[in-house]
Structure 1
C-alpha cells in the first residue's frame, strides 16, 4: 500500500524537520509532499513533491502565502497521486490536507502546535499585525471546522494536547517527538572533537556557569538566564545569534554578572557547552522543547518554565527543576537545586526521547509497521 508523508514546508534545520526525518526513516517507501522544498538533499533519492506555490512568487514567503493555504491544502494534493495512507506533520495548516484516495480513517496527523499566530498570538508576534488580526477570525473558523474532521490526532506534548482541545475541540493522544539523543551520547567528551579555536574558548570559560542557548529573539527569554546567573551568583554563557543580540548585551552589561557570548557555535561546540555547563536554563514557553532533552542527554540538569511542553521531559527534582515564577529567590533556588542533581539521572531521563521510541509509538498509533506497509 502506498503512503505519503506530508509536511508544511521542508527546511534545512528545525525541530519539526526532525520529526519528518524520523517518519522518513521509518517508512522508506513513502513519498513526501511539502508546499516547497528548501533542502533537496535532505531526502535525496526519494520522491518529494512540491505544491503550485513553489513555482510562484509566494515560495518561501510564509506570511503572504497564509491566505491561500486553506484552499491549497484542501485541493492542492489532488495531482500528487493516489495513496492508501497519509502521515501528516502540521504546525500551521497541513492538518487540513486532503490526500487523494486516502480514507479519513487512514490519515494520521501529528501536531506540533495549532497555528500560534491564529490561536495564541500572545506567543507569536506575527499574530499582532493589523493584517493578521483582521484575517484571524475567518481563518480560525476554517481551521476549527476542518480539524474537527480528523480521525487520528497526536500532539507532541501535553501542553499542545490542551491547546488542540481548546482551539479545535479535538482530543489528541501525546507522542513526544524524537530528540536524537543517540547522536549526543555517541561522544563521551565533546571538547575532544572541537577545533583549536573552539577548544581554547571553551577552556577559557568560568567554572560552574549557567548556560542559555537558542536563537537570540525576545520570546526565548534569554534575559531570564542572565537574571538566573545574577540571582544565583554564577557566571552566564549565552550561545546563539539573532536580532536580540544588542539588547541582550546591554542587559548583560548592566546586570553586574559575568556574561560570555558565544556567537553561532557549531553543533559540536554547542554540545560541549551543554556538557560543560552546571545548569541549562530554558525559560521560554515552548510547544515541547528539544534543547532541555539534549542537555539532559549530556548529563546536565535543566531549569524550565512550568508553562509549556518542557515539563513533559523534565522531572522536577530528578533531571531538573521547574519555575513557577521568575522572582530572584525562585531563580536562585531553582538553579542551585538543579546543580546538585545526579548527571546519570539526567541521562536516563533523556534516553526516553530516542528516535527508536518515537518510531515505535507512531507505528502503534497508526498500525503501519516500521519499515513496512500498512496492512
Structure 2
C-alpha cells in the first residue's frame, strides 16, 4: 500500500500537457515523483551488490571532467530551465527572508557539525567529513515539492535554491579543507566544479527565456523524467564506491552511531529553522518554504564531490546517503503535522 504522502507527491504537477508531450511521459514523470524514495532504495541495493558498472561509468572523463560532474551540471541545467520568471519577481518582495534562509542554510548545519566535532574521537572516521560536506551544500531542488504540498511560498523556495547554489563554490573555497583529511589539491576540484555549477544554472534560465513559457510547459514532463534519471544514475555511480565495502564489512555499532548522528544533525537543522521563523513571526507560507528549503540539502551534489574528494573514506558517502533518506522522512513527518486543513486532499 502506498503512503498517503506518496499519493500527494504524484499529484503535485497538474499543469495541462500539450500534444507535444505524450501522456505516457507525463504519467512516467508523476510515477517517478511518487516512487522516488523506493527507487533510490533499489539503486542503493544495486550499487551494494552489483557495483561494477557504476565504478566503470565513474571512471569516464567528458570534456576534461569526471562524468559525474558533467551529469550534475546537466541536472542543474534542468533546474535552471525550471525557474519561472514570475517566481523570481515574487521572491524579490521577500528578499530579507531569502537572505536569512541562505544564512541559516549553512550556519545551522555547520554549527551542529562543529559541536559534534568537539567529540570527534567518538565518531568513526568519515562520518563528520560527510556531514561537513553536506552542511556546505545548497538547498535541494526536491524541497520545492514539499513546499508545494504544504502550501508554502514556492518563490521563496526557488530563490533560496538559486542563490545558495550560486554561492556553493565560494563556500567550498572558504570552508572546505577536506574534512578529516588533508587535501592539498582541493582547490583545483572546487574551481572545476564552480565552472560547471554557475554556467549550468544561468544557461538553463537563458534557455527558458528564449524558448518561452509555452514551450517549456510542453516539455516539463521530459525535464522531470530526465532530472530524476540523472539523479538515480548519480546515486548509483557514487554509491558503488562506498556501499560494497560497508555491506561487506557490516558493523551494527557503526550503523547505529551513523544513523543517530545523521538524525540529530538533520533534525536539529529543521528545529533551528522552525524556532527562527517563529521568533521572526514569519508568515505561514514563507515559513513553510524556509523549513523545507533550509532543512533539505542537495545531497546529490554532495555525493558527487565526496566521490572525488573522499574516495578513501567510504563511510563519508554512506553518511550522505543516509542523510538523503533522513531529510525526506523528516519532511514527510513535518508535512503531515503542519498541513493546513484546506490543503488536505479531498476524497472522491
TM-score, normalised on structure 2? 0.23
Question: Greater helix percent: which structure?
Answer: 2
TM-score, normalised on structure 1? 0.22
Indicate the structure (1 or 2) with the bigger Cα radius of gyration: 1
